[in-house]
Amino acid sequence: MRVVFDANVFVAGIPARSGTLGTLIERWRAGTFQVIVSQHIIDEVGRGWAKPY
């Protein structure tokens, strides 16, 4: 199965250890599905991680 994550899923989900986003990232890392990304999503993730919170 192939899926597309919104940039917010990466920004909030990668550091998450639990919850829906954490589970999605965990399943992606386990190979349950393949994530498809575009350059636009990659750029948006970079901007999201660059913001101080």
- Classify residue 1: in a domain, yes or no: no
Please give the structure tokens belonging to residue 4. 């597309």
Q: pTM for the complete prediction?
A: 0.80
- Classify residue 14: in a domain, yes or no: yes
What's the one-letter identity of residue 42?
Answer: I
- Classify residue 13: in a domain, yes or no: yes
Give 1-24 pLDDT, tens digit per residue: 999 999 999 999 999 989 999 999
Contact 34, 3 (CB under 8 A): yes
Number of domains within the chain: 1
- Predicted confidence at residue 21, as pLDDT, reads 93
Closest by Cα among 12, 37, 38, 36 to 25: 12
- Classify residue 19: in a domain, yes or no: yes
- Predicted confidence at residue 52, as pLDDT, reads 80
- Predicted confidence at residue 51, as pLDDT, reads 82
Give 28-43 pLDDT, tens digit per residue: 999 999 999 999 999 9
- Classify residue 2: in a domain, yes or no: no
For residue 8, the number of C-alpha atoms closer than 13 Å in the C-beta half-sphere is 1
| pLDDT > 80? residue 53 | no
Structural domain boundaries, residue 40: 7-50
